[in-house]
Amino acid sequence: MRVIWERGEATAKEIQEALPGERHYNSVLTIIRVLERKGHLIHRAEGKAHVYRAKAKQGKAQRRVLSHLIEQVFGGSAAAMVLHLVETGDLTEEDLREVREQMAARAQASKTAAAKPKKGGQK
């Protein structure tokens, strides 16, 4: 999906060439067909080739998949997922610093939005 999102659209051959390592064309095509069957990709014919593109924008698709993962694997707990990432070492100190900064910025934005008077002079 990342290759498609980066390029906007691509043929199976272009996707194969963009992936790291040696990927067999038929293996790439199988994954593309599964993604298309599940509604993540759509295609149009261009000569003999199919040109694939994502059905949803990257952010929307990531939110949907992450929400599903949190619900199905971590029992609906985002905290459990984050703790798992910390325990396995997949979340570094630098990552945690970035998360803290994002959370602080989001909290500040919420405070600022709440402090703005609404139309008609009401809060």
Q: Residue 52's pLDDT is what?
A: 98
Fold of 58-114: Penicillinase repressor fold (1.10.4040)
Q: Which amino acid is at 73?
A: V
CATH number of 2-54: 1.10.10.10
Q: Quickly tell me which residue has 């008609």 as its tokens.
A: 120
Q: Residue 116's pLDDT is what?
A: 76
Same fold, 2-54 and 58-114: no
Is residue 106 predicted with pLDDT exceeding 70?
yes
Is residue 94 predicted with pLDDT exceeding 90?
yes
Phi-psi map region of 97: left, alpha, beta (phi>0 left; psi -120 to 50 alpha): alpha
pLDDT band at 76 (very low <50, low <70, confident <90, very high): very high
- Domain boundaries, given as residue ranges, for the chain: 2-54, 58-114
Contact 27, 18 (CB under 8 A): no
